[in-house]
Structure 1
Amino acid sequence: MRWPVQAGFPSPAEDDQEPAIDLNALLVPHPEATFLLRVRGHSMTGAGIDDGDVLLVDKALTPSHGRIVIAVVDGEFTVKRLHLSGDGVRLEAANPDYAPIRFQDGQELQVWGVVTRVIKTL
């Protein structure tokens, strides 16, 4: 899908226009499993996720190594990058001021959904 926009002088050709953009079709392949969440905090700034941004989260997607996920750790929601290895599972921040979350016996982790888009206010 393409929806070009001129960054110079606009083109006067009306017959050159693409069909209207349907945001639901473009952004929400699983409407019954897609949610919006607002970010609070700065742990993912290195991944382009800033305080106040809105995340599009798809619970129908299977979380995999390297994906940014919404996780529930000991009952608290957090957004982090999922790291899967032979050493186990950890959640990594994208800001060096925040340490990775490594799981110990008795800690509970539930990956709630996969982040698919970040919506920013300019």
Structure 2
Amino acid sequence: MDQRVSFITLAVHDLDATRRFYLDGLGWTADLDVPGEVLMIPVGEHLVLSLWHEAGFEAEVGAIRRGPGLAPLTLAHNVASREEVDAVLETARRAGADPVQDAQERAWGGYTGYFGDPDGFRWEVAWNPGPIGEKVLP
């Protein structure tokens, strides 16, 4: 098996709110947009963020866990500087992200902040000055 990820698929409660946030708010472009069903957004070379309405997701994958707290995952958007971290967080804030946690210096040497999308999925915006951080930049 090749060592790679092709799709990141998330179940969302309100696909219209998700569309407004990612396409209108963040300015991203979808390759596939089926109202009421799915939104597929290319997010990297050979990588697609697939946002399914939770009913369709459950029909295909099985029952999803519901309850208080955050989903136990984060998505990360790495950038080349501290200034870009702040700029991306501001873009997310203008797009309606809630919450937005301002960036801060991290003990491991980076600078990161977080924002939540309409379903509460947390996006980390990070400047990572090390080799792994440089590896993921375009």
TM-based fold match above 0.5 = no
Q: TM-score, normalised by structure 1?
A: 0.26
Structure label with greater radius of gyration: 1
Q: TM-score, normalised by structure 2?
A: 0.24
